């Protein structure tokens, strides 16, 4: 880049002097259209239960989700993402509950689709909320069996599509699953069901509070390093994305968010596809606790989200979605 002008004729601070000029020259912005709201589901009736590892976030029984979805609709949040807390007695080695058409995600999809036309629904494809060992697939010894797992994920995807899910989001990191899922969806006439692939998902230490929220934390044997990406790598992310695009992904996800801004940018610069990012539970709880303890102020939330936009995210899954949507609606 060629520098034009220099001090004292050039003063960079001129365009930072007042709020109005800062607004005029702003290169990035955040709107409600950028926000995806995760919702945790639980069994039972009439339950809204706080999650201790994620201050301000609740698990909802299905009969109560109308409350939160209605609020999301009123604020014009475009998409909700559903995550189930499955009770222990429904978990097994194969994640059988994932294929139960009366499981929490299926029930919630039906309710939301029936009552709300203006909001999209997204559901995770992976077995970890349903397996007794907490892994995203079927174990053979200590190793998650790729191809056996895919055959179940395909069924899970079809079931979710039948329940009215708009965006199927495989977060399992098995090789080749996007192609198989796309093929099955098309064959069963779900041609408009979209696939958001968690193409670049790292074996991260920032998922702790989420695993607590869906009840897989104490269950997880070992780690997920044999399928989720090594956080030392970046060019590998490009191979993952290239493969998933070829297999039929409509959008790709980079996850986690803030520790991986370089990856979001690299993916964005190399592919013409919408790139989403996921500000994960550990990022959320750290910021939230920082604010609670007055170490950082509330605007750090907007700063963290804008950083994800600046890196190239089209949209962001964030547990701050509701509070930020409220804030944005008041400001404008
Ligand atoms: C599971 C899944 C995880 C998250 C979303 N889907 C956890 C994991 O891979 O262990 C994490 C989200 C978060 O931390 O907010 N397939």
Give Cβ neighbours of residue 21 (< 8 Å, ≥ 6 apart). Answer: 14, 15
CA of residue 257 to ligand 1 center, whole Å: 12
pTM: 0.97
Nearest-CA residue for atom 8 of ligand 1: 207
Please report whether residue 1 resides in a domain: no
Question: The domain containing residue 155 runs over which residues?
Answer: 32-331
Helix axes 177-187, 235-247, angle to 10 degrees: 20
Q: How many CA atoms lie within 13 A of 326 on its CB side?
A: 5
Cα–Cα distance between 97 and 312 in angstroms, integer? Answer: 36
Q: Quick one: pLDDT at residue 46?
A: 98
Query: Looking at the domain assignment, is residue 159 inside a domain?
Result: yes
246, part of any domain? yes
pLDDT at 332: 56
Contact 157, 184 (CB under 8 A): yes
Domain annotation covers residue 16? no
Q: How far is the CA of 211 from the centre of ligand 1 (A)?
A: 7
**Confidence (pLDDT) at 215:** 85
pLDDT digits (tens, 9 = 90+) for 181-194: 999 999 999 999 99
In a domain, 220, yes or no: yes
Domain count, the chain: 1
Residue 299 in domain: yes
216/22: higher pLDDT: 22
In this structure, is residue 8 part of a structural domain?
Answer: no
Tokens of 189: 């006439």
Cα 296 to Cα 301: distance, rounded to the nearest angstrom: 10
Ligand 1 neighbour 107 (Cβ under 6 A): no
If you take atom 14 of ligand 1, which residue's CA is the nearest one? Answer: 207
Can you tell me which atom of ligand 1 is nearest the CA of 282? Answer: 14
Asked if residue 148 is part of any domain, the answer here is yes
Residue 154 corresponds to which tokens in the numbers above?
A: 């395909």
Could you say which DSSP state residue 301 is in? H
CATH code for the domain of 206: 3.20.20.70
Long-range contacts of 230-236 (CB under 8 A, 24+ apart): 230/202, 230/203, 231/202, 231/203, 231/204, 231/259, 234/262, 234/263, 234/266
Which residues belong to the active site? 201, 255
Which of 200, 202, 203, 280 has the most ligand 1 atoms within 8 A of CB, as the residue to mutate? 280
Q: Which atom of ligand 1 is nearest to the CA of 124?
A: 6
């Amino acid at each position: 880049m060629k520098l034009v002008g220099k001090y004292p004729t050039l003063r960079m601070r001129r365009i930072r002097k007042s709020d109005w000029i800062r607004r005029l020259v702003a290169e990035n912005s955040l709107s409600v259209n950028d926000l995806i709201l995760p919702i945790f589901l639980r069994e039972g009736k009439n339950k809204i239960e706080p999650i201790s590892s994620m201050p301000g976030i609740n698990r909802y029984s299905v009969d109560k989700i109308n409350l939160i979805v209605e609020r999301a609709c009123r604020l014009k949040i475009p998409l909700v993402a559903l995550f189930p807390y499955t009770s222990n007695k429904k978990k097994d080695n194969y994640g059988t509950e994932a294929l139960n058409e009366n499981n929490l995600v299926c029930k919630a999809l039906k309710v939301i689709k029936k009552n709300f036309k203006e909001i999209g629904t997204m559901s995770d494809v992976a077995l970890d909320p349903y397996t007794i060992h907490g892994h995203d697939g079927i174990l053979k010894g200590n190793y998650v069996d790729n191809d056996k797992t895919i055959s179940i994920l395909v069924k899970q995807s079809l079931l979710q599509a039948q329940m009215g899910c708009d965006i199927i989001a495989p977060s399992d990191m098995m090789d080749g699953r996007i192609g198989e899922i796309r093929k099955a969806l098309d064959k069963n006439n779900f041609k408009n069901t979209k696939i958001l692939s968690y193409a670049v998902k790292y074996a991260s230490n920032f998922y702790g509070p989420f695993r607590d929220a869906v009840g897989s934390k104490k269950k997880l044997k070992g780690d997920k390093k044999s399928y989720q990406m090594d956080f030392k790598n970046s060019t590998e992310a490009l191979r993952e994305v290239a493969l998933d695009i070829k297999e039929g992904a409509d959008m790709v996800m980079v996850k986690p968010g803030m520790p991986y801004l370089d990856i979001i940018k690299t993916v964005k610069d190399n592919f013409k596809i919408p790139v989403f990012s996921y500000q994960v539970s550990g990022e959320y709880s750290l910021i939230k606790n920082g604010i609670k303890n007055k170490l950082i102020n509330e605007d750090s939330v907007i700063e963290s989200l804008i950083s994800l936009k600046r890196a190239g995210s089209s949209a962001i899954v964030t547990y701050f979605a509701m509070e930020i949507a409220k804030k944005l609606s008041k400001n404008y």
